[in-house]
Amino acid sequence: MELDLDTLKRMVRNIASTRPDEIGCDECFEQLDRFVELELTGKNAAEALPLVQDHLDRCSDCREEFEALLAALRAIA
């Protein structure tokens, strides 16, 4: 499998910016409803759950899930 230069650069950036206290997608997903609830109530979700915020900043798949859940709950309210 060949990697294009942009993909390789992104992978190196992600590796270089890893933290010892990161969470993975499974743990992020487990906490996503709480994170969204904090957002919806006007609280600082990033401050309350900084590891979730960090993961959302790094993972586009989880970020998409977060945005979809947030949008759906806002539409219901």
Position with higher pLDDT, 42 vs 6: 42
How buried is 19 (Cβ within 10 angstroms: 0-12 exposed, 13-18 middle, 19+ buried)? exposed
Predicted pLDDT of residue 1: 60
CB crowding 35-68: b at 16 or more within 10 Å, else e: bbebbeeeeebeeebeebbbbbebbeebeebbee
Per the prediction, the chain carries an average pLDDT of: 89
DSSP helix/strand/coil, 48:
helix
Lowest mean pLDDT: which of 11-20, 22-31, 46-55, 66-75? 11-20
High-pLDDT (> 90) share of the chain, %: 69
Per-residue pLDDT at 69 exceeds 90 = yes
- H/E stretch holding 71 reads helix 60-76
